[in-house]
Amino acid sequence: MEYNPIKKEEVSKMSVMPNLLDYEKAREDFRWEDISKELDELDDGCLNIAYEIIDRHAKTSLKDRVALYWEGDNGEGEEYSFSDLCRLTNRFANVLKNLGLNKGDRVFTYGDRIPEIYISLIAALKAGGVIGPLFSAFGPDAVKDRLGDCEARFLITTPKLARIVEKVVEDLPALEKVIIINRKNVAYELKEKEASYEDLMKNASDLFDIEKTDKEDYAIIHYTSGTTGKPKGVVHAHEAVVGHYATAKYVLDLHPDDIYWCTADPGWVTGTSYGIFGPWSNGISQVVYEGGFRASNWYKVIEKYKVTVWYSAPTAIRMLMKAGEGVVAKYDLKSLRYLCSVGEPLNPEAILWGNKAFGLPFHDNWWQTETGCIQIANYPIQDVRPGSMGRPFPGVTATILDENCEKELPPGKEGHLALKAGWPSMFRTFWNRQELYESKFQNGWYITGDRATMDADGYFWFVGRADDVINTAGHLVGPFEVESALMEHPAVAEAGVIGVPDSLAMEVVKAFVSLKDGYEPSDELRRDIKKFAKKKLHAVACPRKIDFLPGLPKTKSGKIMRRLLKARELGLPEGDTSTLEE
């Protein structure tokens, strides 16, 4: 395909001049050290994300700029300037320090997208804590696994979710304090270990000496699913903010007057890297919407706040397509100037639909929890190549490696997508699993776990996962995790879990189960197993479909052959079955 840069005349017609005007030159000149210099490091070369995203702006003319436009579930709106956030996060940092937080302690949040969750996360970074944001849709086991794995000391949650925490608090000996945000002032009786956010904040000082963290000090943990075992804690250091800042500037193309909206929840890395750090390190105003997906509500948010830059995900875009252009027409969306998407392959039809519905294409970009920031992207200066993830960010080197991850493959050949190790927001370890971490690197390349091709112009094209991990609506689900949860049901003898195609969510989780003696397949049992799974897993990880089988195909060593289940389900060739158990 021909490489078609936008010509100078066309750039001059754009409503805003892109921050990245010459991709080739940027690739040649780019130095991460130069980007670091744009950030205002603390004294003695220390670096703290919280300082870079909030405090440094609160000292300049940006102090009164609205950092956060918060839109509540019921249409209530609140505004917080950079200086408001500086003051409030100082207060909560004092709260945490007064409760005995030491540098490096893990502080988790478990709540909906309300301002206090954002304040808590930033305050914990200020105090030197390592933050772990959780989705509010998590069930008790998901909370227990994550907090237990990294021995979290503090948890900030809400009355509704505290009922879930209660079920597992006995199993979390390291957890010392559960702080309850009760913004609606509902009747709630504090239990042992619990304290009121509002009471603690009332008595805390507005002044705080930010912890002088080193750029290598750990800052963030996000748990991600792999093929085997429980989710792993992907750990990022404070230096990650250099990556968030640079990519928000050059890929999301944020400009001082932008009103930006990232639809992701902080429970997913996109909701922290680009729902907190990227925009605020650039001093940009952003919208946070508490509510869930509904096309009309989303358009209302864009109209009300005059959103200019919008970052979302393919499943959401497909849902907007399903809702139709009729809904689009009811709202004034002309403030929009730039659209981006991440998380799953973005179908060319979705890009074309964006063009039709909003007069703008969605710009796909690719990255992962482990990479911390965008690695491959379509840029405003270049034509979107529908179906391609785009080209590597200027400070990033990407390649396609052969089956053994040894040799780089030429354009057009499919292989393992790999990145030259060493960008600032690269993960620093898997919590307590250093060996597993090291196994992800080979000859200086980080092996991403995705398969892809690169074309002759250096554009990357996603092919699929190299492992069994399922991507449903942009959430990675490890089949093992789901199988383990299903096996805890008294009727289930064995479980095998795969992803099956879905027109909206790309893939949905399907389970095959064999039953213990004395149990018979029935719709009622299927419903009961689904209900059981819901209690154990994140909602998206729950099997949408369950089939009963008399036995599951296994290797001679006893491993369930998911590949075979999938081939049979989709009517594909079964491939090599030589290791299949008789």
Element (H, E) at 163: helix 159-166
Residue 64 contacts by C-beta under 8 Å, 6 or more apart in sequence?
81, 82, 83
Q: Hey, which residues does 548 pair with through a beta bridge?
A: 513
Report which of 286, 297, 244, 250 is spatially closest to residue 269, judged by C-alpha positions.
244
257-296 residues near ligand AMP, rule: CB under 6 A: 269
Which tokens hold the place of 63? 């102090």
Query: For ligand AMP, which is the closer residue by CB, 92 or 366?
Result: 366
Residue closer to ligand AMP by CB (options 116, 507) is 507
Distances (CA, A) of 396 to 4, 43, 375, 381, 423: 22, 28, 6, 18, 7
Which of positions 376-395 make contact with ligand AMP (CB under 6 A)?
Answer: 389
* Near ligand AMP in 146-205, by CB under 6 A: none
User: Is 344 an interacting residue with respect to ligand AMP (CB under 6 A)?
Assistant: yes
Per-residue mark of binding to ligand AMP, 389-428 (x: CB under 6 A): x---------------------------------------
Q: How far is the CB of 537 from ligand AMP (least distance, A)?
A: 15
Q: Which residues pair with 339 in a beta bridge?
A: 310, 362
Q: Count the residues in the chain.
A: 582
Backbone angles phi, psi at 405, to 5 degrees: 55, 40
- Strands 362-366 and 309-312, sheet pairing: unpaired
- The verdict on 534 binding ligand AMP (CB under 6 A) reads no
- Contact with ligand AMP (CB under 6 A) among 345, 394, 424, 543: 345
Which of these ranges, 204-212, 365-373, 426-434, 436-444, lies near ligand AMP under the rule CB under 6 A? 365-373
Q: What's the rounded Cα separation, in Å, for the pair 418 and 397?
A: 9
Task: Please answer whether residues 382 and 4 qualify as being in contact, where contact means their C-beta atoms are separated by less than 8 angstroms.
Answer: yes
Strand residues in 469-505 grouped as ranges (E): 470-472, 475-477, 492-502
Sole binder of ligand AMP in the list 369, 425, 429, 472 (CB under 6 A) = 369
Contact 242, 248 (CB under 8 A): no
Six-digit token string for 420 = 């030259």
Q: Is 364 in the site for ligand AMP (CB under 6 A)?
A: yes
At 223, which amino acid appears?
Y
- Please compute, for residue 202, the number of CA atoms within 13 A of its CA located in the half-sphere on the CB side: 6
For the bound state, the minimum distance from the C-beta of residue 477 to ligand AMP, rounded and expressed in Å, comes to: 10
- Report in angstroms how near the CB of residue 2 gets to ligand AMP at its nearest: 22
Q: Which residue, 168 or 389, is less far from ligand AMP as judged by CB?
A: 389
CA 182, CA 198: separation in Å to the nearest integer? 7
Provide, rounded to whole angstroms, the least separation between the CB of residue 459 and ligand AMP. 12
3-class SS shares of the chain: helix, strand, coil, % to 5: 35, 25, 45
Indicate whether 374 belongs to the interface with ligand AMP (CB under 6 A): no
Burial 4-30 (b: 16+ CB within 10 A, else e): eebeeeeeeeeeeebbbeebeebbeee
Residue window 217-236: x/- pattern of binding to ligand AMP, with contact defined by CB under 6 A: -------x------------
What does DSSP assign to residue 541?
G
Binds ligand AMP (CB under 6 A): choice among 131, 155, 317, 342: 342
**Which one of the spans 125-133, 321-329, 337-345, 520-528 is the region binding ligand AMP (CB under 6 A)?**
337-345
Give the shortest CB-439-to-ligand AMP separation in angstroms.
16
Rounded to the nearest whole angstrom, what is the least distance from the CB of residue 118 to ligand AMP in the complex? 20
Residue 527: CB minimum distance to ligand AMP, A: 29
Work out how close the CB of 377 gets to ligand AMP at its nearest, in angstroms, rounded to a whole number.
Answer: 9
- Residue 83 near ligand AMP by CB under 6 A: no
- Count interface residues toward ligand AMP (CB under 6 A): 19
CA distance 62 to 42: 18
Q: Pick one of 19, 81, 368, 429: the residue that binds ligand AMP (CB under 6 A).
A: 368
Region from 342-350, 431-439, 540-548, 558-566 binding ligand AMP, contact rule CB under 6 A: 342-350
**Residue 524 carries which side chain, given as an amino acid letter?**
E
- The footprint of ligand AMP on residues 468-487 (CB under 6 A) is 471, 476
80, 197, 366, 480: which one contacts ligand AMP (CB under 6 A)? 366
Q: Is 498 in the site for ligand AMP (CB under 6 A)?
A: no
Do residues 172 and 157 touch, judged by C-beta distance below 8 A? no
For residue 68, state whether it binds ligand AMP (rule: CB under 6 A): no
Q: Which residues bind ligand AMP (CB under 6 A)?
A: 224, 269, 342-345, 364-366, 368-369, 389, 448-450, 462, 465, 471, 476
